[in-house]
A and B are shown apart, each in its own frame.
Chain A
Amino acid sequence: LAKTTQPISMDSYEGQEVNITCSHNNIATNDYITWYQQFPSQGPRFIIQGYKTKVTNEVASLFIPADRKSSTLSLPRVSLSDTAVYYCLVGDNGLTGGGNKLTFGTGTQLKVEL
């Protein structure tokens, strides 16, 4: 399973765009990049997943460069309610590729202030 590195914490203000970068230098060909969000006292919530280029949904965008050695989660116009821990995970979606053993690091604590 590819190891990931992301900042421990980030601070932002309401209305700003927040970009959280994750490094995954040894990503494998079959690996996907997945981001989760966790609020205090709640379980993690799947946000977005991508393989290459750009993926966008109603919550966030995920930018993946051609070499796939890093990825950036972009949260547009954050609000106080976006204060949470964000986890970057890299791995195969299938059972044989280790998808059965999700590995959560300590994530990035995003704090949004007024």
Chain B
Amino acid sequence: NAGVTQTPKFQVLKTGQSMTLQCAQDMNHEYMSWYRQDPGMGLRLIHYSVGAGITDQGEVPNGYNVSRSTTEDFPLRLLSAAPSQTSVYFCASARASTLYEQYFGPGTRLTVT
């Protein structure tokens, strides 16, 4: 199993540009989520999904959109990038029965200039 994969690893955007961060998992996990981590801080939940076709907001959802058309994929879209969105983004997945045992991807380091 590849586990949770994320692309790209690094990305530089200009203010106002849009892009999609990709996340995929091959463990057939029902639950997937996106976090951001700023320097010296813990992780903050952006959006999450409990199954295909179902998404919900986390702690810091503004400026981000998600969709879950398949069990495997959970892309995160930045509609109009802002410098405040400079961060490291992590995707995670888990079985619905053991949500606290989450598997994290390697992260995407995003810089918005």
Contacts and interface: CB of A to CB of B under 8 A. Distances in A.
Interface stretch (A21-29, A44-52, A65-73): A44-52
B31 interface: yes
Nearest to A90: B100
A99 B50 CA distance: 11
A93 B100 contact: yes
Nearest to A33: B100
Interface residues of A, number: 24
B32 to A, nearest CB: 11
B75 interface: no
Interface stretch (B11-19, B66-74, B101-109): B101-109
Contacts of A95: 50, 96, 99
Contact of A99 (B41, B42, B44, B100): B100
A94 B97 CA distance: 6
B50 A87 contact: no
B60 to A, nearest CB: 12
Q: Determine chain A's interface SS by DSSP, over half rule.
A: loop
A104 B42 contact: yes
Given A43-B104, A43-B106, A101-B48, A94 B92 contact: no
Given A43-B105, A101-B45, A104-B42, A49 B100 contact: yes
B26 interface: no
A73 B35 CA distance: 24
19 contacts: A32-B100, A34-B100, A34-B101, A42-B104, A42-B107, A43-B90, A43-B104, A43-B106, A44-B43, A46-B101, A46-B102, A87-B42, A93-B100, A100-B50, A101-B45, A101-B48, A102-B102, A104-B43, A107-B42
Interface of A: 32, 34, 41-46, 49, 87, 89, 91, 93-95, 99-107
